[in-house]
A and B are shown apart, each in its own frame.
Chain A
Amino acid sequence: MRLSTIRKYRKNSKVRQGILSVGRNPIILLGVSLPFVIATATSLRNAAAMSLEYVVINFVTAVLSVLIAGKAPFWVRAAINVGAATVVMMLTRALITWMMPDISNYLGTYIYLMALNGMVLLQSEEAVRPGPVKLWPVMKGVVINVAVFAVMMLIVSLPREYLGNGTLWGRAIPAPVKLSGVQLPFFGFISVGFLLAFVRFTTKKIQAFGIVDGARKAANERARYTAIHVEIDE
């Protein structure tokens, strides 16, 4: 086979996988999860409610996806997962309404959309991978994912609630000025952008420190080795 044909096939397959594969399509992975952070992370209570819903839905669908792994085609598994997520969502919504009745209306359609978040679909596809599917590794992934989601929600919502409403967890805190604009979705995008930039900046710094630290250790080791050899020679 000609090399150009192979390259063309690889390029096309990447595009195809990027569009069709649930685990690689950025719109499905990020686009279906991002709106929750952008639109609903305007107060700590909202963030807590959405995180609770996210936790419950993802744990249930993770267990379900392990149980039905390899027993049905992908589209059936996805439908089962989404169906189960919808049932769990309704139950969680009832729980949230009971716990925090004032915010369930505010969350509006997002509380329903959570049943179709990116993770639910991803878990359906994860189970298609070769080899036996074990519960623990899947649950470990879900725990990390859920924790990151909750932390992200809380970090984004804290300044937005304080600056926008002058409250924290619904309690009035003296604020110098109220900026109602920070409650709007555009500021959610800005917050997420800044957060990502901060994470990237910190990661780079840590990596740089690691490299410098590693080089320093290596130099010390070399110096010690040289000193020992000098002593032996003498």
Chain B
Amino acid sequence: MRIENPATAPHIHYHENTKVVMGDAILPMAAIYAMCFYYYGPRVLLLLVTSVFSSVAADVLCTLISGKRVNARDYSAIVTGMIIPLMMPASIPFHIAAIAAVFGITIVKHPFGGVGNNVFNPAAAGVAFAIVCFPVRMFTYPMPLETLPVFPDETLLQVSSPAFTLQLGGVPNYDFVDMSLGNFPGPMGATNILVILACLLYLVLRGAVRWEMPVAYLAVFAALCWAFPRDNMNAAQNILYDMMSGTVLFGGAFMLTDPVTTPQRAWAKAAYAALAGAAVFLFRRYSRYEEEFVFVLLIMNATVWGFDMVGERIAGIFRRKKFETLDDKKVQKKQ
């Protein structure tokens, strides 16, 4: 496939249309929402409705302002609206989810040309904005299996996540079975480790996500955790705790693999994901916030054009060599 101008914004290049690609993302996230409903109660669904409504309303408004026709089959705003609450605590006030969704759509998605043209992931930008504006609200989590009231008051027990314990240099006191089942405090969608892995498998088998990306991302992250373990724990513990706490897995499954904001060539995708894995590792060790994935993703999104440009040049060299070999064979046959 020849890319006309790799220096421009990335575009969806699967053979499926936007509806199919976004539908593939919506279905697994619905499964995660089912788990969140089990752990935190109906408030989760209200958060989902608030975020999706805000996201879609902002999207429609921006589309009308820019003089385009509203496409009812474009589910990208719904996907953005679904991802945002999953990266937040279940007790987050509704207005924060709405602000994050509106920020992602109006500031990050539409100024670059809307769906298929956005340089940065809108959901990541929305969550990053919420973290910057409301760090306390974003990093205190309710305990799972406690049904939350619709409007939680100050008496609600809220705790920090294992990612915060790791950041302070401690060892989380949750066993791995509980953690893999999602029975620990954290961003409501990112704690359901087994469900996320199952969703990732589904996306890979459906072809919505290239297997190179999650494999390269998780392999590099795990390799660095193994090579440079934290104090007070061995390499295996470090890998498991670091992968299960925070948004490392969720982000790798649903946000890093966004077809619009990733390079186009398969190996460029793998290199991009590997670099993202290394960056997430470094940010986890040295950054100020315990949830760093969204910031890493925004930085990595800015480098996509570079991966595309280098990827095309290298592909051109291989293509030329292939034609030269074919020419040589033809000459040899004639002789």
Residues of A within 8 A of B (CB): 176-182, 184, 190, 193-194, 197
- Chain B residues, Cβ within 8 Å of A176: 95
In the bound complex, do residue A179 and residue B133 qualify as a contact, i.e. CB atoms below 8 Å apart? yes
- Chain A residues, Cβ within 8 Å of B107: 190
State whether A184 and B132 are in contact (beta carbons under 8 Å apart), knowing that A177-B95, A177-B99, A179-B99 are contacts in the complex.
Answer: yes
Known: A181-B129, A190-B107. 15 other contacts (CB 8 A): A176-B95, A177-B95, A177-B99, A178-B133, A179-B99, A179-B133, A180-B132, A180-B133, A180-B134, A181-B132, A181-B133, A182-B133, A184-B132, A193-B111, A194-B111
Residues of B within 8 A of A (CB): 95, 99, 107, 111, 129, 132-134
Instruction: Please measure, in the bound complex, the distance between the C-alpha atom of A180 and the C-alpha atom of B95, giving whole angstroms.
Output: 15
Instruction: Please measure, in the bound complex, the distance between the C-alpha atom of A180 and the C-alpha atom of B132, giving whole angstroms.
Output: 7
- Chain B residues, Cβ within 8 Å of A197: 111
- Chain A residues, Cβ within 8 Å of B95: 176-177
Q: Is the interface of A mostly helix, strand, loop or mixed?
A: helix
Q: Chain A's nearest CB lies how many Å from the CB of B61? A: 15
Instruction: Please measure, in the bound complex, the distance between the C-alpha atom of A184 and the C-alpha atom of B128, giving whole angstroms.
Output: 13
Closest chain A residue to B130, Cβ basis: A181
Q: Chain A's nearest CB lies how many Å from the CB of B173? A: 32
- Chain B residues, Cβ within 8 Å of A193: 111
Q: Chain A's nearest CB lies how many Å from the CB of B178? A: 34
- Chain B residues, Cβ within 8 Å of A184: 132
B95, B107, B111, B133: most-surrounded residue (chain A CB, <10 A):
B133
- Chain B residues, Cβ within 8 Å of A179: 99, 133
Q: Which A-B residue pairs are the 7 nearest by beta carbons?
A: A181-B132, A181-B133, A179-B133, A180-B133, A181-B129, A177-B95, A190-B107
Instruction: Please measure, in the bound complex, the distance between the C-alpha atom of A176 and the C-alpha atom of B102, giving whole angstroms.
Output: 15
- Chain B residues, Cβ within 8 Å of A180: 132-134
Instruction: Please measure, in the bound complex, the distance between the C-alpha atom of A194 and the C-alpha atom of B107, giving whole angstroms.
Output: 9
Closest chain A residue to B135, Cβ basis: A180
- Chain A residues, Cβ within 8 Å of B99: 177, 179
Closest chain B residue to A177, Cβ basis: B95
A177, A181, A194, A197: most-surrounded residue (chain B CB, <10 A):
A181
- Chain A residues, Cβ within 8 Å of B132: 180-181, 184
Instruction: Please measure, in the bound complex, the distance between the C-alpha atom of A180 and the C-alpha atom of B133, giving whole angstroms.
Output: 5
- Chain B residues, Cβ within 8 Å of A182: 133
Instruction: Please measure, in the bound complex, the distance between the C-alpha atom of A181 and the C-alpha atom of B129, giving whole angstroms.
Output: 7
- Chain A residues, Cβ within 8 Å of B134: 180
10 pairs from A and B in contact (CB 8 Å cutoff) = A176-B95, A177-B99, A180-B132, A180-B133, A181-B129, A181-B132, A181-B133, A184-B132, A190-B107, A193-B111
- Chain A residues, Cβ within 8 Å of B133: 178-182
Instruction: Please measure, in the bound complex, the distance between the C-alpha atom of A182 and the C-alpha atom of B129, giving whole angstroms.
Output: 9
Instruction: Please measure, in the bound complex, the distance between the C-alpha atom of A116 and the C-alpha atom of B99, giving whole angstroms.
Output: 39
